[in-house]
Amino acid sequence: MANSGESFRVTPWEVEGAVNYERLVKEFGTELITEELMKRLEKAAGGSNHMLRRRVFFSHRDLGHVLDDHESGKGFYLYTGRGPSGPMHVGHIIPFYFTKWLQERFDANVYIQMTDDEKFLEESRGLTLEDTAYWSLDNMVNIAAVGFDPDKTFIFRNTEFMARMYRPVLKVARKINFSWVRAVFGFNEQTNIGMVFFPAIQIVPTMFEKRRCLIPAAIDQDPYWRIQRDIAESLGFYKAAAIHSRFLMPLTGPTGKMSASQPEAAVFLTDDDKTVRKKIWQAFSGGQPTVELHRKLGGNPDVDVAFQWLYYFFEEDDRRVEQLREEYVSGRLLTGELKEILIEKVQMFLTRFREAREKAKDRLRLFTHEGRLASRMWESWPEDT
């Protein structure tokens, strides 16, 4: 857990305040992605990604070693996940698009964990196991719609796959004591023991193969990897590597993280065009209160939701995004005009997404059946270890 003075707080379960990412990197002990490392990744990938160029994915652990393994022919695999607590918003799906980009570029296996157990155990959510089963299925269809390679992707629900994972989970769990997870996650005497055990379950997929695992996720998930890196080698596995993103700004402005429990702060994958328009129109803006003042003083793109969303994901063209920034700062572009640009982009993205989702319904089995990847995991943990 990062508890950064009064101003902000980032844990896997909540984000409060305005996150200072540079300070977070220091506290979590991760590293910023340098220009040199980014270029090396792009070269190995044979292409570039706007989320990398703009440092939406801004921090990492051992990314250099991942590229060494790629170059030596050993290769690496990818692992990410989703906590199925409700409908997904656009912030939840973006890391999956980045993961898919990495899969395509490196021809890598991808394991995707659905933590239906975790979302049941988080008592404050008040979800039943039936609820988390329902949302698992719903969310898995979204993830399948992103377009992963079905031959190289395994999406699994913890409550279903646990029989297979249980032995590795026990081996990991025995290496972690209570005072450690209490310090890392901020658990206390009232925390239920399911939550205390859960970190072992999120850690195990980093040890599904006897190769390095690279985890693309927002930086809130990093505390798990910190523990993993202290125990992996003693179990005969690699320390996990990670590539961390910032959070997509909530519609309400630059503090906290978009949360499904605050529907006005998020655009959901299921929101129709009218809802998207309404939500973005109401979003926080860095513009001036009157057109006259805006023309004179210009807007502030750093706190402007419309600009930040275009920059983060929705406008891939760098020239266009810089042109928008410049016009907004100078006051030539009005808040309403900027919002219209974003509305169109988000509506277009969601229209395509919904079509892909319809098709993915019939294809879900291709990702969830226990095929080659599931047995690969089993081989990494032979009976006698």
Binding site for ligand TYM (CB under 6 A): 12, 79-83, 91-92, 94-95, 113, 115, 118, 202, 215, 217-218, 220-221, 245, 247-248, 257-258
Cβ-closest residue to ligand TYM? 83
Closest CB to ligand TYM among residues 136, 202 = 202
* Residue 294 CB, nearest approach to ligand TYM (Å): 28
Q: How far apart are CA 199 and CA 216, in angstroms?
A: 18
* Residue 74 CB, nearest approach to ligand TYM (Å): 22
* Residue 153 CB, nearest approach to ligand TYM (Å): 14
Torsion of CA 358, 360, 363, 365, to 10 degrees: -110
Q: How far apart are CA 377 and CA 374, in angstroms?
A: 5
Contact 247, 6 (CB under 8 A): no
- Mark 32-60 as b/e (b = at least 16 C-beta within 10 Å): ebeeebbebbeeebeeebbbbeeebbbbb
| Dihedral sign for Cα atoms in the order 89, 202, 24, 243 | negative
Q: How far apart are CA 186 and CA 124, in angstroms?
A: 15
* Residue 384 CB, nearest approach to ligand TYM (Å): 28
Q: How far apart are CA 85 and CA 132, in angstroms?
A: 6
* Residue 216 CB, nearest approach to ligand TYM (Å): 7
Strand pairing report for 15-17 and 8-10: antiparallel
Closest CB to ligand TYM among residues 82, 339 = 82
* Residue 66 CB, nearest approach to ligand TYM (Å): 15
Closest CB to ligand TYM among residues 146, 334 = 146
Closest CB to ligand TYM among residues 228, 288 = 228
* Residue 284 CB, nearest approach to ligand TYM (Å): 15
Cβ count near 126 (within 10 Å)? 7
Closest CB to ligand TYM among residues 95, 301 = 95
Closest CB to ligand TYM among residues 19, 334 = 19
Contact 179, 227 (CB under 8 A): no
Closest CB to ligand TYM among residues 137, 329 = 137
* Residue 219 CB, nearest approach to ligand TYM (Å): 7
Radius of gyration of the CA atoms of the chain, in A? 21
Q: How far apart are CA 223 and CA 244, in angstroms?
A: 12
The DSSP bridge partners found for residue 157 are 114
Closest CB to ligand TYM among residues 113, 368 = 113
Closest to 360 measured CA to CA, from 144, 159, 177: 144
